A = this chain, B = another copy of it.
């Protein structure tokens, strides 16, 4: 956080970010890993603990702030992005983070989310996407697959899921990424990249809810499956995947296709090369579309990273400009604006 690192920050360890509260997630929950990776990364982001605030809504994932030894606000369901936005506007010096769930962010909180994106307010949003409502014990969520059988859909869900990455892109988000609870290294990299970004940073994290939706992402996280099902996006690198790194993604028009790069007509050089900084977000959008395509690997990594002025700095700028132009506010002058008259 460029604007907060005024003084040399203390040297922390992951432990410094552990609060004294018992962690109350179900044993085996993917949330533990997200917490651990965050605590591992935070010593490096160059911000003092006192200047970090975690804001959340309601859900299993939204208990996150209690476990981080920073400031924290456990808000109400769906409102974390906007509570965080208000805080960031009032206090641009703080590093403001949001922990949220797929219900919290995309169901009740969808509007605040897309508005945060378009404003490009400098907050970082970590979506714990377990494709289920955990805390309320297992109803389907806006990211659950069509046909899902849950407590509230005993006959199968008839909702088409959101593609959170595509939604964020459609809402003009400047940093859009995806990672996995069970890939600690990757998750750390992405959290670090979000910390470095100035502007709204959105990370969709696939997270296993082992109680109500166990294994939803095992094809993307477990050895022997993930190799064929995940393609890692890296800036300026071609899209290669497969257990033997023998496959790649090639664009046919706008359509990504799998090609073999071993003993085939194609080589590395024919593959789509990722460019996360593309200012038009079309490439990112094409990549986002691979997510629900059963024939294509799921991309993880940074889809898009671009820069534009943030809402909080623009707001501060206007204040400064106003003061420059008019001088610091003088109450007596303000009171006496317009027509006045004197009664003796």
Residues of A within 8 A of B (CB): 107-111, 114-115, 118-120, 142, 155-156, 158-163, 166-172, 254-255, 280-283, 285-286, 289, 308-309, 311, 314-315, 318, 321-322
Contacts and interface: CB of A to CB of B under 8 A. Distances in A.
A101 to B, nearest CB: 16
Copies of the protein in its oligomer: 2
B254 A311 contact: no
A163 B172 contact: yes
Nearest to A162: B118
A336 to B, nearest CB: 20
A171 B160 contact: no
Closest 9 A/B residue pairs (Cβ): A170-B170, A111-B111, A158-B314, A254-B282, A110-B111, A167-B170, A166-B170, A155-B318, A285-B285
29 contacts: A109-B111, A110-B114, A111-B114, A114-B162, A114-B167, A115-B142, A118-B142, A118-B159, A120-B160, A155-B321, A156-B318, A158-B314, A159-B311, A160-B172, A160-B308, A162-B172, A163-B170, A166-B169, A168-B170, A170-B171, A170-B285, A254-B254, A254-B280, A255-B280, A255-B282, A281-B289, A282-B282, A282-B285, A282-B289
A234 to B, nearest CB: 20
A114 B115 CA distance: 12
A115 B159 CA distance: 9
A261 to B, nearest CB: 22
A281 B282 CA distance: 11
Contacts of A160: 118-120, 172, 308
A198 to B, nearest CB: 15
Contacts of A119: 159-160
